[in-house]
Structure 1
Amino acid sequence: MTFENVEIPYGTYWSTPFAKWQGSLQHLHAMKFAAHVAKSELAKRDIDPKGFDSGVYGMTNNQYQSFYGAPWPLHELGATHTPGHMLTQVCATGARVLFAGASEVQMGLAETALVLTGDRCSNGPHIFYPAPKGPGGTGKSEDQVIYNFSNDAIGGHAMLDTAENVAAKYQITTEEQHDVVLRRFEQYGDALKDDRAFQKRYMTLPFAVPKHNFRGDDGVMEGDEGVFITSREGLAKLKPVKEGGTVTFGGQTHPADGSVGLVIATADRARELSRDPGIRITLKGFGQGRADMAYMPEAPVQAARNALRHAGVGIDQIKAIKSHNPFAVNDIVFARETGADLNRMNNYGCSLIWGHPQGPTGLRAILELIEELVIEGGGLGLFQGCAAGDSSMAVVLEVAER
């Protein structure tokens, strides 16, 4: 089934700036924060929250009472009678919730759906799991965020190990990775030109950071917080994190906090809600994939091929590509395997530079993909990204005149 009557109304999406963990957003409940931002952004667009038939919320790190899922933030933002559900696929959550919202519209279950993502890597919960049958009744516990970065549930390895495995398989050097980092930092710089003109196409800046109780403001963010100034000389001073490896701290992303949201609607409803009804944004295909265990950066290649097949197009027809690239290795492998131009991927930014709050990461990249295509006069775009468990998701979308 293709997505024949599903659109993203132009301009009905937003992202907060991302803050490196333990930064300006560390004190905010992720679900309440997502609702707070969405309520404000919908009001700016004169969109009534009560008009949503369905909602999807994407999050990966538990928050206080997150057991209640999507109905809670939906109620907080004013969609008091809108049903919804919560999804997680670790780093691929952004693409997964987009697929879920689009599917509901396509199936006729909703005319207008709200897709929200919010995550806080900062101050992750410490979770205790009772085990009455264990020795002395002692249970197990985990620091949900930090522990799982370094302990794959299946293989017991760290996420860094997956990058090193792929780097070894493809004989990717530290220098090659650093070349990609320098290019991605340069591309991110384009989004900051003219007083952050590109980012302001989808981001409210300066951004007022609310207090923990959302009664008043706690501070202001001028833009993404925690982006590392990158130079060839600075990268050259970094040693691989793992003894005998190739990946440095400069060649990988950093944990972050943030929220991203968008509206999905039928074609008729999209025309009503769009900032520019002459621009049509359609979803052409989705794909997923899974690589061999502990080879996570390879997985997006399979997902992208499946999404392109679903959309009925070839990689040569794609005008712009965005990736969730927790490691520079990801982009190098993708370019080698697909023939994509390594230097033209990820114009205006990517998670390698602006950080990785997990649930919102892919969705922000998709917003930037849309805006890049609008600037370029339309065309097909591809988003692809990996996720823990050596899995991946990919999306093909098109921007065109109506």
Structure 2
Amino acid sequence: MATYICKMNQLNSIVAANLRRNGIRSLSTTTQKRTAASPSGQNIVLVDGVRSPFLLSGTTYSKLMPHELARHALLSLLRKTNMSKELIDYVIYGSVIQEVKTSNIAREAALAAGFSDKTPAHTVTMACISSNAAITTGMGLIATGTYDVIVAGGVEFMSDVPIRHSRKMRGLMLKANKAKTPMQKLSLLASIRPNFLIPELPAVAEFSSGETMGHSADRLAAAFQVSRKEQDDYALRSHTLAKQAEEKGYFTDMVPFKVSGVDKTVDKDNGIRVSTSESLAKLKPAFVKPHGTITAANASFLTDGSSACVIMTEEKAKQLGLKPKAYLRNFLYVSQDPVDQLLLGPAYAIPKLLKKSGLTLKDIDSWEIHEAFAGQIVANLKALDSDWFCKTYLGLNEKYGAPDLSKWNNWGGSLSIGHPFAATGVRLCMHTANRLVREDGKLGVVAACAAGGQGVAMLLERYPGATAD
């Protein structure tokens, strides 16, 4: 174990050195921390949260439906908190690639989990920050006094995504459905042409630009001069730290799942794979060929998974005898150019959140930032540490500075653990809350980019007496 930790320290040092060579500095960790106040005047708490193991799409979950994954998270949350369904006032779930049969998956999952049909539920979608949106929507409902106890979460199921007929074929089929006579139907069928049969396949692409997120990430990395080696080093760091955290039992938010029809219980994420720098360097570009730097190893993979958490006022938690994990102190969303700045949400959101909260980089003990691509992460760090970017786009007088890498995604991230689009936000919050306990920190920041050129940042504060179990 000592040798393993030594190698980890060496790897962190290599990554930090790479960043420093490109103008990114680390900050002192010895500053005095300040308490963050809730703008609403109410103390809203994250009581606890759970997630299913995150699995590569097309593996063990492949024969399920998405609401079954969400049902597992809901029931597991109730068991973990020892709460009855009757205490839940409202359920909010995020989902991005929606199953047509269960379009309001929050409602279908709640009913499948045995919640009362009198418990309202609705679904939100905001790409990769959908469960963040579910949480903050719940915070708003609590802050206005509308509800006391809310479950928020997200689910994504990439093993079975909707594939549509072409628009011409859809139009013809709708007309055929309205045809009154056999001859009318035959006439419509006779008008079918071979190109009508070409299906419309889903893609992780921007509607406004038509560009895939991978291409955007490659251009962003090139714009900020993020080398292939920097990206591979960061990806290796993510997988190594995730493996270390898994072995130490730190993923206490993950709840095993006995999948129907599968012999063994799923109790681990299956995308964590510690490789070598030499192996990563051999992989070919995945998007911009042959000169791109984004590969299958330094990009997040298509993932199936679900998550759920319960939030309420501190007063309500005390009434119920619950022990919260963290205060939900502040949040904001940002939007920017969805073409050239698609994945720069954290660079825009972090300075705004800290300014709004009266804090600085040195006040933050834990950073949990969504890893869409290694190049995206390093580009955001470089943007924050760039005089030109901060002056031109953030309206600052000088560079804002990059967070301390030693506090950054210390248990790995989406590159290694996986990224079910709508479920990741809850994982980020839970890892922040649990890391604050294990690392004896006070304040943590969650941030993420999302399709459409949007982003989020959230501020959490460790709850007195919180545990990481």
**Is 1:118 aligned to residue 155 of structure 2?**
yes
1:193 alignment counterpart = 247
Q: Does the aligned pair in 2 maintain the 1:2–1:285 contact within 8 Å?
A: no
State the TM-score, normalizing by the size of structure 2: 0.77
| Structure 1 residue 17 displacement after superposition | 0.8
| Structure 1 residue 191 displacement after superposition | 1.0
Query: Kindly tell me: are residues 8 and 24 of structure 1, through their superposed partners in 2, closer, same or farther at Cα, counting changes over 3 Å?
Result: farther
CA RMSD of aligned residues (A): 2.5
- Among 260, 278, 283, the alignment partner of 1:233 is 278
- Tell me, in whole angstroms, the C-alpha distance in 1 between the residues paired with 2:380 and 2:315: 37
| Structure 1 residue 50 displacement after superposition | 1.5
- Tell me, in whole angstroms, the C-alpha distance in 1 between the residues paired with 2:417 and 2:80: 25
The one-letter code of the counterpart of 1:257 is: D
Query: Kindly tell me: are residues 274 and 319 of structure 1, through their superposed partners in 2, closer, same or farther at Cα, counting changes over 3 Å?
Result: farther
Q: Does the aligned pair in 2 maintain the 1:335–1:341 contact within 8 Å?
A: no
Q: Does the aligned pair in 1 maintain the 2:56–2:418 contact within 8 Å?
A: yes
Q: Does the aligned pair in 2 maintain the 1:59–1:88 contact within 8 Å?
A: yes
SS in 2 for 1:166: helix
Runs of 4+ with deviation above 3 angstroms: 128-141, 272-277
Deviations 1:26-84 (A, max 9, x none): 22111232123312330342201121111101111122522344222222223211112
1:327 alignment counterpart = 373
- Tell me, in whole angstroms, the C-alpha distance in 2 between the residues paired with 1:218 and 1:346: 33
What residue ranges of structure 1 are gaps of 5+ in the alignment? none
- Among 287, 290, 294, the alignment partner of 2:333 is 287
- Tell me, in whole angstroms, the C-alpha distance in 1 between the residues paired with 2:328 and 2:425: 17
Query: Kindly tell me: are residues 302 and 9 of structure 1, through their superposed partners in 2, closer, same or farther at Cα, counting changes over 3 Å?
Result: closer
State the number of aligned residues.
387
Q: Which range moves more in the overlay, 19-28 or 221-230?
A: 221-230
- Among 194, 197, 203, the alignment partner of 1:148 is 203
Q: Does the aligned pair in 2 maintain the 1:3–1:284 contact within 8 Å?
A: no
- Among 322, 341, 346, the alignment partner of 1:300 is 346
Q: Does the aligned pair in 2 maintain the 1:42–1:49 contact within 8 Å?
A: yes
The one-letter code of the counterpart of 1:166 is: L
What residue ranges of structure 2 are gaps of 5+ in the alignment? 1-37, 176-187, 385-400
SS in 2 for 1:392: strand
**Is 1:246 aligned to residue 293 of structure 2?**
yes
Q: Does the aligned pair in 2 maintain the 1:285–1:311 contact within 8 Å?
A: no
1:373 alignment counterpart = 436
Deviations 1:142-172 (A, max 9, x none): 33xxx322x4211111111111111111111
The one-letter code of the counterpart of 1:202 is: D
Query: Kindly tell me: are residues 305 and 66 of structure 1, through their superposed partners in 2, closer, same or farther at Cα, counting changes over 3 Å?
Result: farther
- Tell me, in whole angstroms, the C-alpha distance in 2 between the residues paired with 1:368 and 1:286: 19
Q: Does the aligned pair in 2 maintain the 1:24–1:209 contact within 8 Å?
A: no
State the TM-score, normalizing by the size of structure 1: 0.89
- Tell me, in whole angstroms, the C-alpha distance in 2 between the residues paired with 1:68 and 1:281: 29
SS in 1 for 2:270: coil
Query: Kindly tell me: are residues 219 and 4 of structure 1, through their superposed partners in 2, closer, same or farther at Cα, counting changes over 3 Å?
Result: farther
Which entry has the higher C-alpha Rg, 1 or 2?
A: 2
Q: Does the aligned pair in 1 maintain the 2:87–2:149 contact within 8 Å?
A: yes
Q: Does the aligned pair in 2 maintain the 1:6–1:102 contact within 8 Å?
A: no
- Tell me, in whole angstroms, the C-alpha distance in 1 between the residues paired with 2:321 and 2:402: 35
1:223 alignment counterpart = 268
**Is 1:78 aligned to residue 114 of structure 2?**
yes
- Tell me, in whole angstroms, the C-alpha distance in 1 between the residues paired with 2:105 and 2:352: 30
- Tell me, in whole angstroms, the C-alpha distance in 1 between the residues paired with 2:58 and 2:454: 28
The one-letter code of the counterpart of 2:260 is: K
- Among 64, 67, 71, the alignment partner of 1:28 is 64
Q: Does the aligned pair in 2 maintain the 1:208–1:219 contact within 8 Å?
A: no
Deviations 1:69-120 (A, max 9, x none): 4222222223211112110011111211111111111111110001121110
